[in-house]
Every structure is written in C-alpha cells, then in structure tokens.
Amino acid sequence: DQQVKQNSPSLSVQEGRISILNCDYTNSMFDYFLWYKKYPAEGPTFLISISSIKDKNEDGRFTVFLNKSAKHLSLHIVPSQPGDSAVYFCAASGGTASKLTFGTGTRLQVTL
C-alpha cells in the first residue's frame, strides 16, 4: 500500500526553466510533508517542508505547494540549475507517527 506516490520516475528540464515535481498521498492523517534531495552514494538531505496549516512554503529557489483537498503537493524549483540534478523524495508524517513515509522518488536531470 503506497501511501505516498511520485508517479513520475524521471524529469528532464533545461537550465533556467522551472522544474515541477509532484507527489500524491492517500492517508488523510498526514499533516506534515517534506522534500528530500539525494545525490548518488549519499544519504538524502532535507530540502523544504510544509505543514497542513499552510498551502505554500518558499525558500529561495524552492517552493512547495500543498493542496489538501486533492491530497497533492508539488515542489517548484525556479530557476533550475545543473546542480539540482538529483533524486527528489517526497515524505509525509502525521498524528503520533514517529516515522516518515517516503515516495519512490523522481530523478531530475537539469540540462545545459
């Protein structure tokens, strides 16, 4: 039962353009959402988060949007840079859960 879904396994975007990574969830108890970035042979690193009381959170080039009614969140990267090429994981937590539930990841390739 995949409670957090990232339906696009890969995405290719030109440098300078916007990258949009999508994530859907099924568990209505989730109230905190995070995005992690992972380079090869490294562990995931925290990128940005949003709680369910907000619908948008911005940090520099990165913005996360949350649509609770659709159980959908997205990560926007503007402008995209070659160093953004990595695998991006969406994760969620909720209630008294002590763990994060992760999606399967989207591999972003930013081309010159």
Partner 1 sequence: GAGVSQSPSNKVTEKGKDVELRCDPISGHTALYWYRQSLGQGLEFLIYFQGNSAPDKSGLPSDRFSAERTGGSVSTLTIQRTQQEDSAVYLCASSVDRDFYGYTFGSGTRLTVV
Min separation Cβ 4 and partner 1, Å: 7
Nearer to partner 1, 3 or 109 (CB): 3
Catalog residues that contact partner 1 under the rule CB under 8 A: 2, 4, 6, 32, 34, 41-46, 49, 89, 91, 93, 98-105
Nearer to partner 1, 46 or 55 (CB): 46
Min separation Cβ 17 and partner 1, Å: 26
Rounded to whole angstroms, the Cα distance separating 95 from 86 reads 30
Nearer to partner 1, 80 or 91 (CB): 91
Q: State the DSSP string of 20-73.
A: EEEEEE--TTEEEEEEEEE-TTS--EEEEEEETT-SEEEETTEEEEEETTTTEE
10 Å Cβ neighbour count for 105? 19
Nearer to partner 1, 62 or 79 (CB): 62
Min separation Cβ 60 and partner 1, Å: 16
Min separation Cβ 43 and partner 1, Å: 3
- CB-based burial, 65-93: b 16+ in 10 Å, e otherwise: bbeeeebebbbbbeebeeebbbbbbbbbb
